[in-house]
Amino acid sequence: MLAQLDLVRENLPLAFQQATRIIEEHDAIIQQAEQYAQEIIETAQRRAEMILDELGIIQQAEHEAQQISQQVQKECEAMHKQTVSELEQMRRKAQQELEQMRQMTLAECEEIQNGADAYADGVLYNIEQHLSDMLRVIRNGRQQLNGPVKAQNSGKKDNGKKDNGKKDNGKKDNGKGGSRSLKMPSKSKKG
């Protein structure tokens, strides 16, 4: 994406430089044409004066000078129109290329965003699966820990539980049961 933006940034000044160079060349051509026309006019005037001096036909000289001036003016106007048309075509082409590059950049940005979203979704899905597996292991461990205690307690009454808590034998049994319950998670981890 950054490479595309750099390419756009590099191509735009180049296009404007080319357009500026063409305008400068156009101005130089017009200036040369005007100078050429002026020289032709001056030549025609000198020729008219010579004809006037030599033959006395001033009207013919003026007519020729006017024709040359009109012809040069038409040529200059045609060159000016052609140059303006070429500049307009270049401007439109540059705008089209810029729009195409902008659309490509937007499409690439959208593609990158979609890829990032898909990657993030996949990562979150994997995390969710790991958490689900961990939660299942935790529940199984708790069931293994609490299962024997519930089985022992289901065979005894509530008062019996209190009496066992007061007796020394009951305390020893509870202590043994607690030690067994602590060992069971290690078995589940091995399994």
pLDDT digits (tens, 9 = 90+) for 30-72: 888 888 888 888 888 887 777 667 766 667 777 888 898 899 8
Mean pLDDT of the residues in the chain: 75
In terms of Cα–Cα distance, which of 80, 41, 37 is closest to 61? 41
**Helices (H), strands (E): how many in the chain?**
4, 0
133-165 tens-digit pLDDT: 999 999 999 999 887 655 555 555 444 444 444
In terms of Cα–Cα distance, which of 44, 49, 50, 46 is closest to 70? 44
Query: Is this structure's pTM higher than 0.75?
Result: no
Give me the pLDDT at residue 18, please.
Answer: 75
Instruction: State which H helix or E strand residue 50 sits in.
Output: helix 2-54
The model's confidence at residue 12, banded by pLDDT at 50, 70 and 90, is: low
